[in-house]
Structure 1
Amino acid sequence: MTIEPRLFRNALGCFATGVTVVTARSPAGEPVGVTVNSFNSVSLDPPLILFSIDRAASSYPVFRDAVHYVVNVLCDSQRELSQRFARSVGQRWDDVPHATWDSGVPVLIDCLANLECAREAVYEGGDHVILLGRVLTLAHREDGRPLLYYRGAYRGLGD
């Protein structure tokens, strides 16, 4: 049975997800970021997470080879940030407040959570690559509401 990609995407869109921006540094030291909603926890002990990235994404080579990256879990007031990092071109980092932790990877400010990770493994996954990361450092807020993505649109809790 052949599954048409648009129908598959529409079916997957029925599953509401949180929205993240994953950040890293290019080999030249430039900050890189991409919007990701294919993010999951894997294990509590050791603390492992995963996300996947499209092989066609301009930032794919950076994330495939990155030793460290940060998963930034967005709050509902960061929709513009998600849209900015979802674009394939443009000045993504202009006026984006960020800090760095031990690995030197950009950490976005005011997110619900930030998870600094070391690459644990990389797996092939069709037109995507699955990156497994070990969480080294984290921070999270007790307040705030998540930015959600459902049926092709941004949502908030209660929408």
Structure 2
Amino acid sequence: MVILALLYGAFRIDEWSDRYGHCVININDMQVKLGHWVNDNLPEDAYLALDDIGAITFISGRKIIDLRGIVEPELLPLVRLALIDANKSDRLIYNYVRNKRPDYFIVFRTSHRFTEKEDIFEELYSIKLLDNIICGADEMVVFRAHWDNTN
């Protein structure tokens, strides 16, 4: 059985290496580019709310809120709630970030409805992948939050 598995893997190695390479291209074309965009366009003390913290945080070195709860465990139950009630999850995540007041959001376009509903979000920049196989969605958007426009 082990020999069959090894043979199967050997015959598919080209496919896997192509897929891995494509994943690397996707990450470079989205998150790595966004990390450099942050460095080139946002203040050094900018406070970011992110859907994908990896490359953007590593490259920019900015203070962040992890909207997926990986390094922000108090958000994890709110993220999981989206599986049951997406509207309630979105509302609770918005309330959480409203209290923290990050300066900018870098999120997948379809992830957080509050970025489209609330008039405090100004779209600054976006990156859209044409053939995405690894990122959370095809498009990430940078929004500036104008918290002074809220009560």
Structure 2 length-normalised TM = 0.33
- Larger Cα-atom Rg: 2
Using CA pairs under 8 Å that are at least 6 residues apart, name the structure with larger relative contact order, 1 or 2. Answer: 1
Structure 1 length-normalised TM = 0.32
